[in-house]
Every structure is written in structure tokens, then in C-alpha cells.
A and B are shown apart, each in its own frame.
Chain A
Amino acid sequence: MVSLRKRSVVAVLGFAMLTVLAACDSATAGQPLPKKTSSQASEEPTDESTSETTEPDYSLARLCELMSPDEAQELGGSAEGEKGNSISDGHAICQWADKTSLVVGFQEGMTTANAKTGPGITNTPTTVDGLTAVQQLSTDPIAICQVMVDLPSGRLFSVAASVRSAGEGKYDPCQVASQLANLTVPRVKDQ
């Protein structure tokens, strides 16, 4: 009876040992991962660096980066753009204001067919970088010239220019708006 109990205990212990050994065996079957050195860790691509490399240089999501400081100043604007919202419907814009006031922005689901008409407004159909566009000059109360462009994505991209006190007599708003459109549209036409 006693020897039978001992045998049972030995059998249980033996089974347990085998299980543990089997577990150790499976653990040692794989190779331990080498410890990362600091240089290897820095080479490891991260989510952030991946997204940086895949992001386009210019994006409608970063309107203020559509022009360099030199380009903005060339057109009479300030070196740095200021993010804001349109007073019409609140769509996102960026504005560079110094001798001229330059604005770029876009609207979802709009086209040049929606261009406003009325007294003091002159709409002229045109193209910018091969895309359908309308140049709109409104003169009441000040001359503001804007170029609206139909993007293939269904968005309406618009740029506007007006002349501030320091730029009076030095800039033509429609010439500036045209230059601004030709500069920025190629950078966002696929978006």
C-alpha cells in the first residue's frame, strides 16, 4: 500500500519533471534576441520617421507651408503666413500680410461655377496649370483679386490678393493673385 503510494508520488513527480524539461526544451529551441545597441536602435524606423518620408512636400493640410518666406515677400506678403479662417464660411486659410495681403485656402465640394457675381465683380474664365479657373476682381470697397481653381479632387482652391497701405501704387492685385496661383496650384493640384 505504502509502496504503491510512493510509486504514485514518484510517477507524478516524474511527469512533472518531464513537463518542466519539455518546457525548457521548447524555450531553448529559439535563439535569444541580441541586445540592441544604441546605434541599432536609432536606425530602427519609427512611425514618425516613416510618416515624414511618405508625406508630400506640400499639403493642403499645411497651407502656410505652400510658400517659402522669400516667395511670400517677393509678392509683397510677410515672411511667415498666419493660419486663420475665412470670414465667409470659416474655411481654413493662410494669410501673409505686409505690403500686400495674400490669402490661400480651399473649400470642399465647391467649384468655380459657384463664383459670386454682381455689381463691382468681374469674373474672367482662365486656366492655371491646365486646370479650370476663374479670376475674380471685386472693387467694392477695395480691389481684391482672387483666382479660384477647380482641383481634380473636387475641391475649390483659391488664392486672393489685395494691396495694403505700404504697397499702394506698387502692386497690381490681379497680377499678384495670378503669380500666387501659378506658384501654389502646381503644388496642390493632385490633392
Chain B
Amino acid sequence: MYEAIGGAVAAFSNAAMAGQVSIQADAAAEALDKIGKVKDQLTDLLTTKSGTAHVQLGANPVGQAIAKKSMGRFDGEDSFVAALTLLQEQTQKAETALKQSIANYVDTDDLHAAQYNRTHQ
């Protein structure tokens, strides 16, 4: 599931960086605003991991094993924090790609304006 999300964002990002996507700033403003809000929500959530991440279930082999497993579910490879981290990365990438698309539009617009002015002088 995570790979599918990452793949879609990566495709958009690559296309934007290659100049294949261009978006007018006004049209992208709402999307940028929404992406910014998602980023902030993820930042807030990730900041609440403050403190240390230890679960104390008893100083015995069973308690220690379950505590380790529990912490793995929290910040291991397939955990909630891992999902949040990936989402934060992809959101950041999407925001950068969107800003690049706006820059592409401005470049294209300027280029066309320059060409138009040359041909009509």
C-alpha cells in the first residue's frame, strides 16, 4: 500500500522536475494550502513522540519480550510511526513537485511572452 502511494507521488515529482507538468499558481494555491495543513498535522503528531519510547511490563523475560514487540509495533518498520514518516516524506515531495509545476508554468508563460513580443515587433 505504502509503495503505491510513494510511486504515484514519485511519478508526479519526476514529471514536474522534468518540466512536463505546469500549473497556474492560482489553480494550485488551494492544493498547496491543503498540503501545508496535512504537513503541519503530521509534524504535530510526530512531535508528540517526545520523551523516551520504552514500555515497562515487568522485569521478567515475558514482560521484556512483549515490551520489545510492543515498541516494534510503535516505531518498527511496519509501524504507525513508520506510516506517519512515509506520509510526511511523500507530502513534502508532493509540495515540492507542486511548487516546481508552478515554476514551470511561469517559465513557460515568460518564454511564450518573449516569443510573442519578438514576432510582433
Contacts and interface: CB of A to CB of B under 8 A. Distances in A.
Interface of B: 36, 39-40, 43-56, 74-75, 80-81, 84-86, 88-89, 92
A71 B51 CA distance: 22
A141 B45 contact: no
Contact of B50 (A105, A114, A165): A105
A95 B48 contact: yes
A51 to B, nearest CB: 29
Interface string A110-147: 10001110000000000000000000000011101010
A162 B46 CA distance: 9
Contact of B52 (A85, A115, A159): A115
Contact of A141 (B48, B50, B53, B88): B88
Interface of A: 84-89, 91, 93, 95, 97, 101-107, 109-110, 114-116, 140-142, 144, 146, 148, 156, 158-165
Interface of A is mostly: strand
A169 B86 CA distance: 23
Contacts of A163: 43
A101 B85 contact: no
Contact of B40 (A88, A89, A97): A97
